């Protein structure tokens, strides 16, 4: 509907229009990516109004196996990182991509790869980092030793790949948050509060130290604050992913301790 000449463009209207234009551009970008990718692995619906692209780009992957000369060669992969998802792809022609692996963004772990550094006769180790997909579409863990073109690019990739609020300060991403079920009725007392009914399921966006939760009710999308005593946390995918991350960290620590005690590093070479 067109705005009439007598209807002033208030800052709120301009801001709302800019947000809508931004959402349309992000959706167009997602559709463009979806049209140029195909899935070698289990396919998923890529286009979503709640998904947007964070970063994309090419990196070199160090192969797991050595060739007959004892070298581990580099091959290229292309990453598409969305706010809630990572696609690991390889190029197919100039502007086509084949998805080899994908994982929920909260199940990504990155590290400097210092353990690998000791095993490599390679001057470019400072541009390398380890990427682990804790539970990919096959339900297994995938690990990649990746090399960026510069140290600055490596730092940028590590920062965006490892970004996860994870409730450290009681704030959660809506695509990776706890979920509660209401066990008591609560009637909103103040503006910004949310009235809840018995059995309501709510995604928690924020927690406070004084016992209040901010959430969005799944049934109608209404958002607001309510006391935590009237709800209990349910075991959703967020909880399962959190437990998986904790288990991965414990296993990694145990493996590092065992390797230091029982193995002697043997240097291998890689192509630059």
Q: What is the pLDDT of residues 222-245, one digit of tens each?
A: 999 999 999 998 877 777 677 677
Write out the two tokens for 170. 């009681």
Q: Is the pLDDT of residue 59 over 50?
A: yes
Helix, strand, coil % in the chain, rounded to nearest 5: 30, 35, 40
Q: Is the four-CA dihedral 67, 71, 77, 83 of positive or negative sign?
A: positive
pLDDT in tens, 189-222: 999 999 999 999 999 988 888 899 999 999 998 9
What's the pTM? 0.65
Region of poorest pLDDT, from 25-39, 153-167, 219-233, 258-272: 258-272
Which range, 15-24, 63-72, 159-168, 223-232, is most confident? 223-232
Nearest to 58 by CA among 43, 83, 77, 32: 77
* Tokens at 218, concatenated: 């799944």
- Please tell me the distance from the alpha carbon of residue 104 to that of residue 134, in angstroms, as a whole number: 9
97 SS3 class: strand
- Mean pLDDT taken over the chain: 81
Amino acid 23: pLDDT? 78
CATH number 3.40.50.970 is the correct assignment for the domain at 12-164: no
- The pLDDT assigned to 1 comes to 44
Alpha helices in the chain (DSSP H): 11-35, 114-117, 151-162, 237-262
Q: What DSSP state is assigned to residue 209?
A: T
Return the domain boundaries, the chain.
Answer: 12-164, 179-238
CB atoms within 10 A of CB 102: 21
Top-level class of domain 179-238: mainly beta
């Amino acid at each position: 509907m067109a705005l009439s000449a007598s209807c002033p463009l208030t800052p709120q209207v301009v801001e709302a229009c800019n947000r809508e234009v931004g959402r349309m551009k992000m959706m167009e970008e997602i559709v463009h990516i979806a049209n140029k990718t195909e899935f070698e692995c289990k396919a998923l619906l890529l286009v979503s109004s709640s998904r947007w692209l964070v970063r994309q780009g090419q990196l070199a992957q160090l192969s797991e196996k050595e060739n007959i000369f004892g070298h581990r060669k580099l091959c290229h992969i292309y990453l598409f990182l969305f706010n809630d998802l990572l696609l690991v792809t390889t190029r197919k022609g100039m502007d086509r991509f084949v998805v080899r692996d994908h994982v929920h963004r909260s199940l990504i772990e990155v590290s400097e790869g210092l353990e690998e550094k000791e095993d490599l006769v390679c001057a470019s180790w400072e541009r390398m980092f380890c990427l682990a997909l804790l539970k990919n579409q096959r339900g297994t863990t995938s690990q990649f030793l990746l090399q960026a073109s510069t140290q600055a690019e490596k730092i940028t990739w590590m920062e965006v790949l490892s970004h996860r609020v994870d409730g450290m300060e009681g704030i959660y991403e809506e695509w990776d948050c706890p979920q509660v079920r209401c066990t008591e009725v609560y009637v909103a007392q103040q503006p910004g509060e949310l009235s809840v009914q018995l059995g309501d399921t709510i995604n928690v966006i924020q927690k406070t130290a004084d016992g209040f939760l901010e959430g969005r009710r799944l049934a109608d999308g209404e958002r607001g604050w309510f006391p935590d005593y009237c709800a209990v946390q349910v075991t959703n995918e967020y909880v399962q992913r959190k437990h998986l991350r904790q288990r991965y960290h414990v296993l990694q620590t145990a493996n590092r301790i065992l390797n230091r005690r029982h193995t002697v590093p043997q240097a291998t070479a890689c192509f630059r």
